[in-house]
A and B are shown apart, each in its own frame.
Chain A
Amino acid sequence: MAKLDSKVPEGKLKDKWSNYKAHQNLVNPANKRKIDVIVVGTGLAGGAAAASLAEMGFKVKNFCYQDSPRRAHSIAAQGGINAAKNYPNDGDTIYRLFYDTIKGGDYRSRESNVYRLAEVSNEIIDQAVAQGVPFAREYSGYLANRSFGGALVSRTFYARGQTGQQLLLGAYSALSRQIGLGNIEMHNRSELMDIVVIDGKARGIVTRNLLTGEIKSHFGHAVVLATGGYGNVFYLSTNAMGSNGSAIWKAYKKGAFFANPSFIQIHPTCIPRHGEFQSKLTLMSESLRNDGRIWVPKKKEDAEAIRAGKMRPEDIPDEDRDFYLERRYPAFGNLVPRDVASRAGKERTDNGFGIEKNSTGEGVYLDFKYAIDRLGKDVIEARYGNLFQMYEKITDENPYKTPMRIYPAIHYNMGGLWVDYELQSTIPGLFVAGEANFSDHGANRLGASALMQGLADGYFVLPYTIQNYLAYEITNPRMNPEEHPEFKKTEDEVKAHITKLMSVNGNKSVDYYHRELGKIVWEHIGMSRNEKGLKEAIKLIKKMKKEFWANVHIPGNTDTVNPELEKANRVADFIEIAELMALDALNRNESCGGHLRTEYTTEEGEAMRRDDEYMYVSAWEYKGDDKDPQLNKEPLHYEEIEVKTRNYKTA
């Protein structure tokens, strides 16, 4: 079994990061100019890292598949970003943020990484404000906060319902400045096709220009992947259409371990789907749970009447409404963590209390009537106006008058490439930041923590830790990818892969397979899993993989804009990722966070963790296309936190 060295620094938890920084290697300014760093992705993690590294003096090459770095999907995050500022004086501390995050993640994340995350959280807010991010303010001019799930304090900073957008535009502005200064070579509309590993170190990437189809190599002394999550395995998710797992999957195949692939987050409040041709799901921010109350009818006959269109939710009196989160989790109420809220909703709808007027019969209500009665429509409009408008545009229903219909949807991947304390993967020189890595959220991510982690990695962690590696690279001159055989070889492999895809020339579209894959994973690797279903899923996925490669049809050419080819490249990888997800879920004979195995639940229906056997990170190692991957375990130790069963019923 390969040894996983997490490189956690010595010392007490609260001293680790400062000790690390005090003793790490740094690169002097003159040498920084001689060092190339490749950053793939321009979201919060990638954009912040690229900008920060360029400010430090490194030569950065930054890549994104969109037409502008500003469009990375971090932009869609709505609700907010956590920080332990304790501005509201409600008792928040770095330790409490750390504790909440570990607990929220159901004790499956690495203690030292999470503590560091909580430590740098405050700096992120300072940085964003300095960049001109227009956070919400009080009349005094001081910053405002709101509450999010899984916390008893108000520590979430926000910019209306567009916090992700504003933070991303902050990072993008820093990035733009560095591009303008010539410190960053920006490659838009470029997709990573593979990673080049030379003598065991990541040395560059091969990309495809999405406009011309050109396959090109790029050299870097180090490569940073900040390519987000692979939620689109499910076809329908809150991810952007182009979000994909290909970069981390290629890295996995080149030797980077993939950690906890089955840990996915299902967000409880999304707009339910409407039909077969639906292309994506739209999230309604968790912040809505501050003021909205979630309920289903108490009586089955009311639920049936609603599903039949014979009754309106407004017709049901308060005493016949089941506010099931408030009922089951009195301490946290509607603000329980996402996995808990999603599962509780599923429990109700599985038992016949769903409200959606379609074949699924899913869906629950998120009602603002009570908040409007208490605070007035104006206050609610000021807080959530843009979200309400978005909801109305999609559903043609007015949420000021009738409760929102919501249902869980795939939202985020806690799993990702395994990284050590320095955010370095098992391939030396390959660093992974943001959602693409696995490190901070364990088995469930708390709301408003993704923005925090992306920016923590990008601004304050990676730009330091990467230097500990680059300090040994200063004597290595830049390579010319056109002359180096390994680059040439990787390019040829990429071209062969594309040729193979194009030459299948079958009769089913890429979307057809993607949709079918989505159905399989949602059914078997979705909100609840069991051994039988997972085994079935693996069988179905293997079958689908064969079919895909025998019968997919990609029109057009390779040397021009070809969205079908782009999708095919991604879906080919999604199919393989899905299999690893199933394998991981099958291995983990416990329930924790977003991973619920029906065999492992308590009598009350709560998740049953099995710390004795499964308190580890599962890090999967690629062994070849025809071989099963090898499982490596990183045991998790908690020194400064008492491992408990999560309890959101009492404080």
Chain B
Amino acid sequence: MAHKTINIKLRVWRQKDAKSKGGFEKYELENISVDSSFLEMIDVLNEKLISENKEPVAYDHDCREGICGMCSLFINGRAHGPDNLITTCQLHMRKFSDGETITIEPWRVGSFPIIKDLMVDRTAYEKIMQAGGFVSVATGGVPDANSILIPKDDAEEAMDAAACIGCGACVATCKNSSAMLFVAAKVSQLALLPQGKIEASRRAKNMIAKMDELGFGNCSNTGACEMECPKGISLAHIARLNREFLVAGLKA
């Protein structure tokens, strides 16, 4: 198989640090294999920059198999670029055409400040999780796994929600920078399971309070998050979060 290659133009956001004013830099790359991943293309760019004694583009990435949630690029106006159900590291150059100009930006969310170039600080997600994204159980002293029966459908739906990788694409793509899909994924997963049901209201209340405090926007149900989510997490989970929150409010 002859390896097909393309030439591309890049418009990449460069920003020295959180305080600096950033701007787009233009680069051109030739003979990029269409079978290479998007991040491998950036590796090639960086290798080139290093050879020219310039600073490479800083960006977050780690597992490169779509599960760690570290990579986070906004490519040609879309979170994780022009394909569905993938992370940036799973995007392949075959999705681009020869001669195309590709615009690469960091997540632009007030609550995810830019660290450098294309890297952003997603500590806000950590704080939300610490506010209630758990079942309050300590190690040991738990019953036999099969003593808690869970209907298959509930387990499957919980798994749908639990697939969240915490990448932030939902917030990045949301026109309101809302973190509702992220919060909903955790709240919904645990609200569906008997182990998590007991503190479901409390969890919803605490996580939402933290989410609001951290300056995320309000969900207006456009559904863009669901479409850009690499794991296809459904808006139905947001409905469940709303329900849990309402119940929590009525109880209070």
Contact = CB atoms under 8 A, between A and B. Distances in A.
Indicate if A touches B (C-beta under 8 A).
yes
B166 A134 contact: no
Contacts of B196: 132
A277 B133 contact: no
B35 A129 contact: no
A571 B136 CA distance: 41
B252 interface: no
A607 B172 CA distance: 53
Contact of A274 (B33, B64, B125, B150): B33
A511 B47 contact: yes
Interface string B45-70: 00101110111101011111111111
A379 to B, nearest CB: 14
Contact of B145 (A85, A162, A165): A85
A318 interface: no
A318 to B, nearest CB: 26
A73 B193 contact: no
Contact of A48 (B44, B70, B139): B139
Interface in A480-509: 507, 509
A561 B35 contact: no
B222 interface: no
Contacts of B90: 390, 393-394
Interface of B is mostly: loop
A347 to B, nearest CB: 25
A55 B140 CA distance: 10
A555 B61 contact: no
A460 B43 contact: no
Nearest to A130: B142
A177 B44 contact: no
Nearest to A173: B134
Contact of A240 (B64, B133, B155): B64
B97 interface: no
A127 B139 contact: yes
B146 interface: yes
Interface string B95-138: 00000000000000000000110010111011001110111111
A571 to B, nearest CB: 14
B97 to A, nearest CB: 15
A68 B62 contact: no
B43 A240 contact: no
Nearest to A142: B146
Given A142-B149, A561-B115, A240 B62 contact: yes
A66 interface: yes
A277 B43 contact: yes
Interface residues of B, number: 79
Contacts of A459: 139-140
A130 B195 contact: yes
A435 B195 CA distance: 30
A556 interface: yes
B248 interface: no
A278 interface: yes
A160 interface: yes
Contacts of A132: 135, 158, 189-190, 193, 195-196
A137 B152 contact: yes
A67 B92 contact: no
Nearest to A71: B68
A475 interface: no
Contacts of B214: none
A556 B55 contact: yes
A404 to B, nearest CB: 15
Nearest to A386: B163
Contacts of B163: 160, 162, 165
Interface in A66-92: 66-68, 70-71, 73, 75-76, 85, 87
Nearest to B191: A132
A159 interface: yes
A564 B43 contact: no
Nearest to A174: B134
Interface in A336-364: 357-358
A373 interface: no
A365 B162 CA distance: 32
Interface string A1-23: 00000000000000000000000
A563 interface: yes
A130 B137 contact: yes
A155 to B, nearest CB: 13
A176 B64 CA distance: 24
Contacts of B162: 133-134, 159, 166, 169
Contacts of A152: none
Given A143-B146, A560-B17, 16 more contacts: A76-B67, A126-B144, A130-B137, A141-B150, A160-B163, A173-B134, A174-B139, A176-B133, A188-B123, A238-B65, A240-B63, A277-B44, A278-B36, A282-B65, A555-B49, A555-B50
Question: Which 6 A-B pairs have CB atoms at the shortest separation, nearest pair first?
Answer: A141-B149, A180-B130, A173-B134, A130-B142, A134-B159, A134-B158
12 contacts: A55-B139, A67-B60, A126-B145, A127-B142, A129-B195, A134-B189, A137-B150, A143-B145, A176-B134, A241-B61, A396-B94, A560-B17
Interface of B: 1, 3, 17, 33, 35-37, 39-40, 43-44, 47, 49-51, 53-56, 58, 60-70, 83, 85-86, 90, 92, 94, 115-116, 119, 121-123, 125-126, 129-131, 133-140, 142-146, 148-152, 155-156, 158-159, 162-163, 165-166, 189-190, 193, 195-196
